[in-house]
Amino acid sequence: MTNRRHFITGAAGAMVGASLVSKAAAAAIPEAPVQSSPATQPPLHPASGRPYNPVVTLNGWSLPWRMKDGVKEFHLVAEPVVREIAPGMKANLWGYNGQSPGPTIEVVEGDRVRIFVTNKLPEATTIHWHGQILPSGMDGVAGLSQPAIAPGKTFVYEFVARHAGTFMYHPHSDEMTQMAMGMMGFWVTHPKDPRQHAVDRDFVFLLNAYDIAPGNYTPNVNTMLDFNLWTINSRAFPGTDPMVVRKDDRVRIRMGNLTMTNHPFHIHGHRFEVTGTDGGWLPPAARWPEVTVDIGVGQMRAIEFVADNPGDWAFHCHKSHHTMNAMSHAMPNLVGVDQAGVAKTINDLVPGYMVMGDKGGSMGGMQMPLPENTLPMMAGSGPFGDIEMGGMFTVIKVREGLARGDYRDPGWYEHPAGTVAREWTGALPDAPSAPPAPAQGEVIGTAKRGGHEGHEGH
């Protein structure tokens, strides 16, 4: 049985121990579990409170709680953290309980929730419970609805989770700095009846972005638009885990956007329906089919599909610059420019200079020496070679014969014979040519120019 104990002992790197939890059970403030691993943790099945179907946070985890007099008590600690963005790059971020983003909070519609927030940051903070319908004084806007939480202080928030749906949490105190440093987390309020909106796999993640110059560890918090790391839950591909799905499972993916621009998320090999927004669930008749859903700034979207097409399917932001890692945008277009002669001259001045961009931007196979602590722009590798992607990119792996609840990476898809695009070495059919271009000045088609001729004399 997968339960909280399994979560605690089975999760590599989890630093919370069962003894810690029991020792804290009598304490006035619940223990604040810490997660040190950026790997996707198994779903946290509820050990107390009402039943629900837990979500899986991509490259993240859910926060254990304790029940006290019928109230679900959580403890978030706002603190500096070190987050691995992908193997080869770490970032000094701010987050909660050891990670950025913070842990996902899962409750059930109607739960009374008490959240202790301890501030271990060097400046004041608050938490805003984005999307929740709650008393004004619990809304977390520093100065407007509460005094800010000074460094070293603990505040307590308490409200009833009134509506099932998809939510986020983030500071509303120096939020430009604090969100640029990674302070955010996911919140799911499950329906009272676990059969309602039930799916087989329910993935959640936040979209975030950082500006960390190559060789640096700390984000530039003054950047407004020109970020260089576009991340899913503070991970950039190939650091993002795959979403592993059993064939014919009904799958939900919930995404929240806490960057400064929109992200059109695109699925391969399937169609989905948009089933949830910031405001709640869409009635079935109002759902619409898509293969790309745009997630605006500050918005949440839930999509659902039946994973009926086995394979390894890309799932990514469709802004091509958002599927790249740290890069400079200030490069001229050198496609078609023969730099061979120039390279020799520059090499005399700058040993190791490489010709770049003359055959396009492809860099997959390029083994450039990188500065310390940065990621190649397009970095992954797959069964057929380089995957020239980074950033907001992951893979949905649909497989037959997985066990229910098995999220382990099954490896690359084994394609049935004859179903992979391949090189053609036979005779080529004649390609039909386009008709010759008209001579200059020649009238094209029969349409008359100047559509007012027939109206003369009015």
Per rule CB under 5 A, is residue 317 in the interface with Cu ion?
Answer: yes
Per rule CB under 5 A, is residue 254 in the interface with Cu ion?
Answer: no
Q: What is the nearest approach in angstroms of Cu ion to the Cβ of residue 253?
A: 15
In the complex with Cu ion, the residue whose CB is nearer, 85 or 317, is: 317
Q: What is the nearest approach in angstroms of Cu ion to the Cβ of residue 404?
A: 32
Stretch that binds Cu ion, among 53-61, 94-102, 177-185, 320-328 (CB under 5 A): 320-328
In the complex with Cu ion, the residue whose CB is nearer, 174 or 388, is: 388
SS3 content of the chain, % helix, strand, coil (to 5): 10, 35, 60
Integer Cα distance of 73 and 113 in angstroms: 6
In sequence order, what are the residues at sequence separation of 6 or more whose Cβ sits closer than 8 angstroms to the Cβ of residue 217? 90, 91, 92, 373
In the complex with Cu ion, the residue whose CB is nearer, 162 or 321, is: 321
Per rule CB under 5 A, is residue 301 in the interface with Cu ion?
Answer: no
Stretch that binds Cu ion, among 44-52, 62-70, 128-136, 318-326 (CB under 5 A): 318-326
Stretch that binds Cu ion, among 13-21, 178-186, 316-324, 353-361 (CB under 5 A): 316-324
CA 324 to chain centre: 14
Stretch that binds Cu ion, among 35-43, 156-164, 317-325, 379-387 (CB under 5 A): 317-325
Other beta carbons within 10 angstroms of residue 87's beta carbon come to 11
Identify which of 302, 307, 317, 323 has the alpha carbon closest to the alpha carbon of residue 271.
Answer: 307
Q: What is the nearest approach in angstroms of Cu ion to the Cβ of residue 175?
A: 20
Per rule CB under 5 A, is residue 21 in the interface with Cu ion?
Answer: no
Q: What is the nearest approach in angstroms of Cu ion to the Cβ of residue 242?
A: 19
Per rule CB under 5 A, is residue 322 in the interface with Cu ion?
Answer: yes
Stretch that binds Cu ion, among 51-59, 125-133, 312-320, 349-357 (CB under 5 A): 312-320
For 210, 220, 232, 284, 331, the CA distances from 216, given in Å and listed in that order, are 12, 10, 20, 48, 21
Out of 170, 252, 263, 270, the only residue in the binding site for Cu ion (CB under 5 A) is: 263
In the complex with Cu ion, the residue whose CB is nearer, 260 or 356, is: 260
Applying the rule CB under 5 A, the residues between 23 and 42 that interact with Cu ion are none
Stretch that binds Cu ion, among 45-53, 92-100, 313-321, 357-365 (CB under 5 A): 313-321
In the complex with Cu ion, the residue whose CB is nearer, 179 or 317, is: 317
In the complex with Cu ion, the residue whose CB is nearer, 105 or 255, is: 255
Identify which of 93, 98, 99, 325 has the alpha carbon closest to the alpha carbon of residue 231.
Answer: 325
Per rule CB under 5 A, is residue 319 in the interface with Cu ion?
Answer: yes
Q: What is the nearest approach in angstroms of Cu ion to the Cβ of residue 99?
A: 22
Q: What is the nearest approach in angstroms of Cu ion to the Cβ of residue 295?
A: 9
In the complex with Cu ion, the residue whose CB is nearer, 225 or 349, is: 225
Identify which of 374, 426, 57 has the alpha carbon closest to the alpha carbon of residue 236.
Answer: 374
Stretch that binds Cu ion, among 132-140, 256-264, 410-418, 450-458 (CB under 5 A): 256-264
For 126, 272, 311, the CA distances from 222, given in Å and listed in that order, are 20, 37, 41
Q: What is the nearest approach in angstroms of Cu ion to the Cβ of residue 257?
A: 9
In the complex with Cu ion, the residue whose CB is nearer, 230 or 407, is: 230
Q: Residues 411-433, buried b or exposed e (16+ Cβ, 10 A)?
A: eebeeeeeeeeeeeeeeeeeeee
Q: What is the nearest approach in angstroms of Cu ion to the Cβ of residue 147?
A: 36
User: With 0-12 CB in 10 A as exposed, 13-18 as middle and 19+ as buried, what is 223?
Assistant: middle
Integer Cα distance of 39 and 59 in angstroms: 5
Integer Cα distance of 227 and 317 in angstroms: 15
E-strand spans in 9-150? 56-57, 66-68, 71-86, 89-96, 105-108, 112-119, 128-130
Q: What is the nearest approach in angstroms of Cu ion to the Cβ of residue 221?
A: 20
How far from each other are the two terminal CA atoms of the chain, in whole angstroms? 85
CA 61, 65, 71, 77 torsion-angle sign: negative
In the complex with Cu ion, the residue whose CB is nearer, 143 or 296, is: 296
Alpha-helical regions (H) of 280-411: 340-349
Residue 347 in 3-state DSSP?
A: helix
Binding site for Cu ion (CB under 5 A): 263, 317, 319, 322
